[in-house]
Amino acid sequence: MASFSTASAALECAISIQRGVAGHKEEHPDSPLGVYIGLNAGEPIAEDGDLFGTSINLAARICDHAEAGQIVAADVVRQLAAGKDFLFSDLGETELRGFEDPVKLWELRWQEATS
């Protein structure tokens, strides 16, 4: 888990991670390495150098929903990054374990994103 002060910083880091993994897989095609990234924004509870709370739990569930090589973000992340040249594809609303209401998810199209 990583925490960022802005949604843009989180998205840029996620893109960098996935590009690095893709480069590694190009050089090592038999590598089983695959990274799943789920992003959310909110106000976590900070305690003893760790983060807790609903926003953290939702980020974990979004990550569980992602596939290897994918960056999946909650709608709030997409909204916070509006106008910043990130490209998203609509994944629709999804029911996530532990959350009563469906959650609107977006896939960051990182291969085409500028950063």
pLDDT per residue over 26-73, tens digit each?
Answer: 999 999 999 999 999 999 999 998 999 999 999 999 999 999 999 999
Question: Residue 99: which domain range?
Answer: 7-108
Which amino acid is located at 2 in the chain?
A
Output the CA angle 105-83-9, nearest 5 degrees.
70
Return the pLDDT at 73: 98
Q: Is the pLDDT of residue 112 over 70?
A: no
Tell whether pTM > 0.85. yes
The C-alpha atoms of residue 113 and residue 85 are separated, in whole angstroms, by 7
The pLDDT confidence band at residue 1, using thresholds 50, 70 and 90, is confident
**Mean pLDDT, range 81-94, rounded to an integer:** 95
- Tell whether 1 is covered by a domain: no
Which DSSP category does 96 fall into? Answer: -
CATH, residue 27 = 3.30.70.1230
The C-alpha atoms of residue 75 and residue 77 are separated, in whole angstroms, by 5
The number of folded domains in the chain is 1
Q: Is the pLDDT of residue 111 over 90?
A: no
- Tell whether 18 is covered by a domain: yes
Q: Is the pLDDT of residue 115 over 70?
A: no
The C-alpha atoms of residue 33 and residue 12 are separated, in whole angstroms, by 20
Return the pLDDT at 9: 97
Handedness of CA 56, 58, 63, 64 (dihedral sign): positive
